[in-house]
Amino acid sequence: MASEFSERLSAERLQAALNERPFQFFETVSSTNDVARAWALEDAPHGAVVIAELQTAGRGRFGRTWQAPSGTALLFSALLRPSLAVPTTRYTMAAAVSVRSALLDLLKLDASDIKLKWPNDVCLHDRKVCGILIEPLWRGALLEALIVGIGVNVRVPFDDPELAARAINLEPFCPSQVDRALLLADILKRLEYWSARVEGLALFQAWRAALSTLGQRVQVTDVGTGRVIAVGRALDVDEDGALLVRAEDGRIQPVFAGEVTLQQFKAE
Ligand code: BTN
């Protein structure tokens, strides 16, 4: 009987795609971010990557769980050793821009088909195709490493209708089965490029131009407390990644973190 998915990752396939890049591959792991963190505490170099077919404790932003059946997503954590005193939000930009450009290249779609929802959700036709979770590793006051956890929906069965309305897979947009090892190698190559240029204007401009959130009426919520942080028009972003929201009274509020939901503009 044919297996459900013929495109399985293996250490051999990853070795061929990643060349010299140090990596660890697991069929099953708790969370690739946890393994990358433990590896970072040892000797993992900048650019090392941890990949898994299945996570039993995958997590997303705001402490949410992140689940996908084995072999249906591209799940990995890249380890960066930041050498510059730049805000970590700059690495958020680098990761989002890297994934977006790799997906645009793979799917040969128009740039407007893949956009970013502030700060770093990658959306295909306005539905989330990739989530990014960046976790810092501190040693005292020193930023030792950044763990860039990335989950790309490739062929995930979205059984929950509510999830199916918000999420999307990339494979239906490809002429053939997605080769996740090659996609991984491509994303990592772009991440290497942008993470070496985190300070530059080009990264900020690429990120800003890809944001679908700008110009929209938004509500930003602190997910931990449920408190609404800002409501208004998302005017712009600043170079450190803050979302600038103009409230009805005209005040412009910088928002540094939170969950954005789009709202309808009121009829004039
Ligand atoms: C989000 O909430 O949008 C971020 C989701 C990040 C999921 C990825 S999957 C690989 C890595 N390991 C994890 O536990 N999380 C990230």
Q: Where are the domains of the chain?
A: 11-210, 217-263
The CB of 32 under 6 Å from ligand 1? The reply is: yes
Gyration radius (Cα) of the chain, Å: 18
Reduced to 3 states (helix: H, G, I; strand: E, B; else coil), residue 25 is strand
The CB of 31 under 6 Å from ligand 1? The reply is: yes
Q: What pLDDT, on a 0 to 100 scale, did the predictor assign at position 3?
A: 44
Q: Of 100, 119, 122, 96, which Cα lies nearest the Cα of 109? A: 100
Asked if pLDDT for residue 2 goes beyond 50, the answer is no
For the beta carbon of residue 189, count every other beta carbon within 10 angstroms: 13
Structure tokens at 56: 């039993």
Q: What pLDDT, on a 0 to 100 scale, did the predictor assign at position 196?
A: 95
Any idea which architecture 217-263 has in CATH? Roll (2.30)
Q: Of 8, 20, 205, which Cα lies nearest the Cα of 97? A: 205
Residues 6+ apart with CB under 8 A from 106: 170, 174, 178, 183, 186
Reduced to 3 states (helix: H, G, I; strand: E, B; else coil), residue 91 is helix
Please check whether residue 221 is in contact with residue 73, taking contact to mean a CB–CB distance below 8 angstroms: no
The CB of 120 under 6 Å from ligand 1? The reply is: no
Asked if pLDDT for residue 230 goes beyond 80, the answer is yes
Asked if pLDDT for residue 266 goes beyond 80, the answer is no
Asked if pLDDT for residue 85 goes beyond 90, the answer is no
The CB of 119 under 6 Å from ligand 1? The reply is: no
- Give the closest residue (by CA) to ligand 1 atom 2: 60
CA 61 to centroid of ligand 1, rounded, Å: 7
Percent of the chain with pLDDT over 90: 90
Encode 193-222: b = buried (16+ Cβ within 10 Å), e = exposed.
ebbeebeeeebbebbbebbbbbebbbbbbe
Give the H/E segment covering residue 263. strand 259-263
Average pLDDT, the chain: 94
Domain 11-210 annotated CATH 3.30.930.10: yes
Asked if pLDDT for residue 1 goes beyond 90, the answer is no
